[in-house]
Structure 1
């Protein structure tokens, strides 16, 4: 199935460059562009893309505000109503995945963007191949978080996050809890597998169950949830 992409960036050269490369991929189609967050919201309603490449710093409405509005639950989502998607894609009633475009991986917007529901970050100087792979990763429902971005997120929780008492989460098993703690500490699937003496496929299975049981969208939300629930506390 073709992945439908919308590019929201106020720099024409960025939009053009991304469009040229992504349209050359056999499984990706750029269905539209936007020059600010407000236009992105309007174009998403019209075009129903699967993935939005969202710049942070844009006029009229920035990428953070647009991400919050796009991913906030609306009447359609709450009622389960299915809408129509223009073009060749089919709308399942869910909002698109948001991939934040940033100039620096230590951007101050990391914490707020992930809390708003973004699925990950992509540096604007990423290679063409990294760009295509990033689109595929978030379209598949996974989070795109480089280790440096995860470390930044954890640092932000240490600075501004609430210091909640440690809790045990109901609804997930002891092993799933162990996996969630390691996700929150920035471990990769391979590192989790090595630490818990599991196969990577088993780790992936555990992560899928954690997301389903806790009603989380992806790995990024899992990290935020682990800290905000008090399961993991900054500095530990």
Structure 2
């Protein structure tokens, strides 16, 4: 499977290094680069890539707003955020805008390449440090099944929370000591109840009511 990519970063050295690195990876083709969110939206509209590797804090138009515009208008394209920031507010803003992945710039070459391939297949991609923050968020917002507006069963609510942590089906099965087939059945049921079309929809819903930790701020730059 070949994956087409647009690389977006306001730092020329980072942008060019990412573009060269990905172009050298087997099965990945960089079709355009952009220096800000406005250019990113234009590049996606023109090329309709499989994946956008999106910086978060940029001039003119930031990565969150660019992600929202792209996911609303170009359904074929998946957005993976690659940023230096891993605070709660940045993570939530990006996922709620429609990103299917969130990596920090500490990620190595192999992880970035794998994230692009996974996103091209419609999979959610979360860095380990991001997953740890999501676990903390999920714990703070934990509530009984009867309180959920979707009227999910206790097991469906539990699985939704684990999806919000970034766990895949085999990991959920291991955590709950049930079969992967049973996990798939519960996920199909909760997707039908909620009208989710992808795992990313479930992640965004699971996190949508989680407030950022006190004292966090949406940093620019």
Q: Where on the TM-score scale, by shorter chain, does this alignment land: which range?
A: 0.7 to 0.9
- Compared with structure 1, are the counterparts of its residues 154 and 197 closer, same or farther at alpha carbon in structure 2 (3 Å cutoff)? closer
Shift of residue 100 of structure 1?
A: 0.6
CA contact (8 A) 2:124 2:166 kept: no
Write the mapping of 1:121-140 to structure 2, written as runs, cut at 5 A: 121-140=102-121
- Compared with structure 1, are the counterparts of its residues 189 and 28 closer, same or farther at alpha carbon in structure 2 (3 Å cutoff)? same
Write the mapping of 1:60-99 to structure 2, written as runs, cut at 5 A: 60-72=60-72, 74=73, 94-99=75-80
Shift of residue 187 of structure 1?
A: 4.7
Match of 2:129 in 1: 148
CA contact (8 A) 1:8 1:33 kept: yes
CA contact (8 A) 2:138 2:161 kept: no
Which is worse superposed, 35-44 or 203-212?
Answer: 203-212
- Compared with structure 1, are the counterparts of its residues 187 and 44 closer, same or farther at alpha carbon in structure 2 (3 Å cutoff)? closer
- Compared with structure 1, are the counterparts of its residues 127 and 147 closer, same or farther at alpha carbon in structure 2 (3 Å cutoff)? closer
SS at the partner of 1:134? helix
- Listed as ranges, the gaps of 5+ residues in structure 1 are 75-92
SS at the partner of 1:216? coil
CA contact (8 A) 1:102 1:123 kept: yes
**1:180 partnered with 2:189:** no
CA-to-aligned-CA distance 1:174-199 (integer Å, 9 cap, x gap) = 65444223323565544421233234
How far apart in 2 are the matches of 1:127 and 1:206?
A: 34
- Compared with structure 1, are the counterparts of its residues 199 and 27 closer, same or farther at alpha carbon in structure 2 (3 Å cutoff)? farther
Match of 1:88 in 2: none
CA-to-aligned-CA distance 1:194-218 (integer Å, 9 cap, x gap) = 2332344653565466446634354
Match of 1:226 in 2: 206
CA contact (8 A) 2:103 2:130 kept: no
How far apart in 1 are the matches of 2:61 and 2:147?
A: 38
Query: Number of aligned pairs?
Result: 210
- Compared with structure 1, are the counterparts of its residues 4 and 227 closer, same or farther at alpha carbon in structure 2 (3 Å cutoff)? closer
Which is worse superposed, 46-55 or 94-103?
Answer: 94-103
CA-to-aligned-CA distance 1:82-105 (integer Å, 9 cap, x gap) = xxxxxxxxxxx6241110111133
Higher helix share: 2
Which is worse superposed, 133-142 or 205-214?
Answer: 205-214
TM-score when normalising by structure 1: 0.73
SS at the partner of 1:94? coil
Which is worse superposed, 191-200 or 13-22?
Answer: 191-200
CA contact (8 A) 1:166 1:233 kept: no
